[in-house]
Chains A and B, each alone.
Chain A
Amino acid sequence: EAQVTQNPRYLITVTGKKLTVTCSQNMNHEYMSWYRQDPGLGLRQIYYSMNVEVTDKGDVPEGYKVSRKEKRNFPLILESPSPNQTSLYFCASSSRLYEQYFGPGTRLTVT
Chain B
Amino acid sequence: GENVEQHPSTLSVQEGDSAVIKCTYSDSASNYFPWYKQELGKRPQLIIDIRSNVGEKKDQRIAVTLNKTAKHFSLHITETQPEDSAVYFCAASRWDSNYQLIWGAGTKLIIKP
A interface vs B, CB < 8 Å?
30-31, 41-43, 45, 48, 50, 90, 94, 96-97, 99-100, 102-105
Contact = CB atoms under 8 A, between A and B. Distances in A.
B93 A42 contact: no
Contacts of A48: 99-100
A55 B106 CA distance: 26
B103 interface: yes
B45 A42 contact: no
A30 B98 CA distance: 10
A36 B65 CA distance: 29
Interface string B97-112: 0111101111000000
Interface of B: 32, 34, 36, 42-46, 49, 89, 93, 95, 98-101, 103-106
A102 B95 contact: no
Contact of A90 (B43, B95, B100): B43
A43 B89 contact: yes
Contacts of B99: 30-31, 48, 50, 94, 96-97
A43 B46 CA distance: 14
A100 B46 contact: yes
Nearest to A107: B41
Nearest to B98: A50
A99 B91 CA distance: 11
A42 B104 contact: yes
A100 B43 contact: no
